[in-house]
Amino acid sequence: MPELKILIADDDENIIFAFKRTFENSNYTVISSPDGEDALKTLLDEHLDLAFIDIAMPKKDGLTVLKEAKKAGIKTPIVVITGYGTMQTAIEAMKLGAYEYITKPLDVEKVRVVAKHGIEMVKLQQEVSDLKAALDRPKQKDEIIGNHPLMQEVFKQIGAVALTPNTTNVIITGESGTGKELVAKAIHNAGGNSQAPFIAINCTVLPETLLESELFGYEQGAFTGATSRKLGKFEVAGSGTIFLDEIGDMPLHIQQKLLRVLEERTFERIGGNQKVNVEARFITATNKDLTLMLKAGTFRKDLYYRLQVIPIELPPLRDRGADIPLLANFFLSKYNRMLHKQIKVISEEVMNFLMNYDYPGNVRELQNILEHCITRERGDVLTPASFPEYLKKKQTESRYHFTFPFKGSFETDHSDKSLDLREIRADIINSFEKQFVEHLLRLTKGNVTSAAQKANIERQSLQRLMRKHGIRSENFRGS
């Protein structure tokens, strides 16, 4: 079997050395580039099977290299690597045709898997010349913050959806407060029709009769009070985006009409016979389990499958706890500006509490907590004294201690007033999982395979637990 050639483009010699060590015993020849210009020249001159390109490089940054390589017709799968992943770079990298997007510190096993899949797969090349040359950065209020691997996957999905036509439907699921509308706006902003309207309709707010007229519009004289023609949201959206929030609460007869619109891409105004074309993309969202509603007969099965073309699931904040300090400081900066405050830092006591709180209201609740605290805080350090009353009560929580077969114990917090068995059980399981996985990785010095063997579980199962709790194996190497 002929040797496969991989390019590593990074100005950090340690990274290049690490890549070479990673592939030294495999059928790969690794060549390196110290800057963007040399990387682009190598891509043009060499026959490469795969390339890893860092974003932050001298002479040309990684995204510029990616863009110019694709413009020149380079078919080599390119993996973008970066030391700090943001929604913006993830979306832009995927829009520009990146095969994969990974963040530092690099997981050796993930690098090997990405290399294997990147070489084996025939990458689907999509034409992006009709899209904007650069992604317009969303307004700060619409920014999605997250560096956790679960959110990086969401960002990549947003970038991939942006390449699809408006006829491709998207459904976003997740608990209340996880940012479903922000994701819908990000898809809209990343697409080729971002200048067209983004129309959001909450299916729970409007009465049934009013919801129908808002969506479809009506002709003059269609009913009492219809003194003139009114255009519905489907028509007003043009070639933009229609976001139907809480789709699970849409009445059944409107579900039937929506299904017909999705199938035929036309509709008639109430009281009218003229066909109106629908050009917008439909994005729906719900915090309900639609599969249970299918069994109960409260949601149409044919509509469900029509909406499920591209599903995007948003993780709850408790499953990406590593993002909490990032989010908290983002909101601190935001509300300092808005409220004309000069709070310099979040105290360690406050941050510890925020890191251990379970957030039933998810990111929206964290944002509200920070706004409340910043509004009340009179000094330049955010302290627990500025907490809302319900959080102050949480500070008096009792602690449960449990000893398990590994050395030591784990603990979890619950309010004295909370005796809900399901809540306590879920909290105990989450606490045990996180601390037990950390214990395994400490024992094996970050070796995931050995840790899985000790626990008598599949390696993939342990990796899922690590992703769930935001645990990185490299943090335990040498420990």
Task: Answer yes or no: is pLDDT of 140 > 60.
Answer: no
Q: Which residue has the higher pLDDT, 434 or 302?
A: 302
Q: What pLDDT score was predicted for residue 411?
A: 53
Question: Average pLDDT of the chain?
Answer: 82
- Would you say the C-alpha torsion 114, 120, 123, 124 has a positive or negative sign? negative
Q: What pLDDT score was predicted for residue 179?
A: 92
Digit-coded pLDDT (tens) for 205-239: 888 888 989 999 888 887 887 788 889 899 999 99
Task: Answer yes or no: is pLDDT of 86 > 70.
Answer: no
pLDDT over 90, % of the chain:
32
Furthest C-alpha separation in the chain: 79
Digit-coded pLDDT (tens) for 389-407: 888 776 555 334 444 555 5
Q: What pLDDT score was predicted for residue 287?
A: 92
Alpha-helical regions (H) of 411-458? 421-443, 448-455
Domains of the chain: 4-120 (3.40.50.2300), 164-313 (3.40.50.300), 319-394 (1.10.8.60), 400-476 (1.10.10)
Q: What pLDDT score was predicted for residue 178?
A: 93
pLDDT over 70, % of the chain:
87
Digit-coded pLDDT (tens) for 275-307: 999 999 999 999 999 999 999 999 999 999 999
Within a 10 A sphere around the Cβ of 177, how many other Cβ atoms?
20
The angle subtended at Cα 161 by Cα 158 and Cα 165, nearest 5°, is 150
Task: Answer yes or no: is pLDDT of 63 > 70.
Answer: yes
Q: Which of 172, 148, 180 is nearest to 312 (CA)?
A: 172
* Global confidence as pTM: 0.59
Using CA atoms, how far apart are residues 97 and 78, in angstroms rounded to an integer?
8
Task: Answer yes or no: is pLDDT of 136 > 70.
Answer: no
